[in-house]
Amino acid sequence: MAHTKVSVTRKYYGKVPLDRNGKPIPKNLWPKRRKSSWEVRWYDSEGKRLSKSFKDRKEAYDFSRKIQDKVDIGKADKCSKITLKNFALEHKKLMKGQVAYSTLIDQERTLNLFKECVGGDIQLYKINPRHAEFFVSHRLNDKLAPATVNKEIRTLRSIFNLAIEPRGYIAESTNPFEKIKQRKVADKPVKYVSPEELTVVLENAPDLWWETYLMVAYTTAGRKDELLNLTWADIDFENNEIRFVPKKETKKLLFWEPKDHDSRTIPVPEKVIQRLVNLQNEVDEFSPYVFIMSQRLMRILERRAKGKWKENSEIVNNMLTRLKVFCKWAKVSEFCFHDLRRSCITNWAKLLPIHAVQELAGHSKIETTRKYYLSVGKSDMDMARKIQEEVLAKLTNY
């Protein structure tokens, strides 16, 4: 940087006033009698001089102190100009490969919705909290669930944070979504799948593939995509462990990365390992995947070769629909695959310390894990009922 000191100078303009004799007044009288402004000057990281004028001396010095703080940490550059439309296009290019494909698609969709609402030609630095509030109001008026709108608020807040740093399109503390409050949403009761319920569903599962998949999901807290991208090489049969690790694209492997790019290793019971051994003995050797059968993998690889396969395409079709059918056959309340994950984490939380559960579950934030320690289970409900029954037993004449 050419200069690191922010300067404040008084700048005079207009003609110099004349004294009684018609001569220009001396310079020592200029501050009181000549028009002036206060100019703050500084240099950006490329040596370009920047300035801003103020009528009031105090305002100029207050501003100079703020700029000096930014100069000291190398953040005094003037924001670059870009329209919302061009920013959205640039964001798509820059984030490709940096985030999961599904995340990128969600960010692109949300940015396009915001662009349609406020106009794509608006300069990014001109977008303010009023635009953000208008967008939120517009989405709520479309009868969207508050939870959906809250997700869009979080998505746009994170995108505009990137516009501040590292891209330098808007100044610090000017994120239009920073102070937009999320709408209150009533927490849905978490479905806990008991061992008894899972047993009945397993009895109604049509084959070994489904039995194994459900048991692995229930004992590893694996997400659906983690389980479907599981290969035989990820299973340590000797030590009874399963690893969820990223996959590089090869002739037979699909590119995949775990959520938050975090790998993890899960200990599993001997019964689950035995199921996996039985399944491995049933399938042919073409597919390296545990839960992608050879015929399906060949179909996927054909589509990939033609450029028709996308990362967010369904690896195995109609899984949730079929699971609901099994629940119906078993005469248990419906649950989804994520409920199996939640149930596994709940089981861990009963006995393991919170940091261990966070690691096993693959939670990036401890707050997510903490919910499982604060949740009220059936045993808690039964105990609460028993306490009240004992209290009522002490009442007389009732």
Tell me the pLDDT tens digit for each residue of 73-126: 666 566 788 999 999 999 999 998 888 888 899 999 999 999 999 999 999 999
Does residue 93 share a domain with residue 68? no
Q: What is the CATH number of the domain that holds 98?
A: 1.10.150
Does residue 153 share a domain with residue 42? no
Does residue 179 belong to any structural domain of this protein? no
Q: What is the CATH number of the domain that holds 320?
A: 1.10.443.10
Does residue 227 share a domain with residue 95? no
Does residue 398 belong to any structural domain of this protein? no
Does residue 348 share a domain with residue 280? yes
What size, in residues, is the chain? 398
Does residue 173 belong to any structural domain of this protein? no
Does residue 297 share a domain with residue 215? yes
Does residue 172 belong to any structural domain of this protein? no
Alpha-carbon distance 366 to 378, whole Å? Answer: 24
Domain extent for 254: 195-374
One-letter amino acid of 248? K
DSSP string, 282-330: HS-SS--BSSS-HHHHHHHHHHHHTT---TTS-SSTTHHHHHHHHHHHH
What is the CB-side half-sphere exposure of residue 292 using CA atoms within 13 A?
25
Does residue 234 share a domain with residue 124? no
Does residue 211 share a domain with residue 316? yes
148 burial class (0-12, 13-18, 19+ CB within 10 angstroms)? middle
Does residue 229 share a domain with residue 104? no
Helix 337-349 and helix 366-374, axial crossing angle in degrees, nearest 10: 80
Does residue 185 belong to any structural domain of this protein? no
277-286 pLDDT, tens digit per residue, is: 999 999 988 9
Q: Indicate whether 368 pLDDT > 50.
A: yes
Top-confidence residue, 394 or 337: 337
| pLDDT classification of 138: cutoffs 50, 70, 90 | very high
Q: Indicate whether 43 pLDDT > 70.
A: yes
Q: Choose one of 16, 37, 72: the last residue of a domain.
A: 72
Alpha-carbon distance 225 to 245, whole Å? Answer: 11
4-18 pLDDT, tens digit per residue, is: 789 999 999 999 999
155-175 pLDDT, tens digit per residue, is: 999 999 999 988 889 988 899
Q: How far is CA 56 from the centre of its chain?
A: 44
Q: How far is CA 318 from the centre of its chain?
A: 26
Does residue 15 belong to any structural domain of this protein? yes
Alpha-carbon distance 66 to 33, whole Å? Answer: 30
> How high does pLDDT run on average in the chain?
91
Closest among 23, 17, 74, 81 to 46, alpha carbons compared: 74
Does residue 382 belong to any structural domain of this protein? no
> What residues contact 343, with CB distance under 8 A and at least 6 apart?
191, 192, 193, 194, 218
pLDDT at 1: 39
Does residue 271 belong to any structural domain of this protein? yes
Q: How far is CA 152 from the centre of its chain?
A: 10
Q: Which two three-digit tokens encode residue 393?
A: 């037993």
Return the percentage of the chain with pLDDT > 90, whole number: 71
Does residue 105 share a domain with residue 154? yes
Does residue 91 share a domain with residue 56? no
Does residue 199 share a domain with residue 152? no
pLDDT at 166: 84
Structurally, how many domains does the chain consist of? 3
pLDDT at 397: 64
**Considering only 236-245, 273-282, 310-319, 378-387, which range has the smallest mean pLDDT?**
378-387
Does residue 363 share a domain with residue 218? yes
Alpha-carbon distance 398 to 395, whole Å? Answer: 7
Are 201 and 326 contacting, i.e. CB atoms less than 8 angstroms apart?
Answer: yes
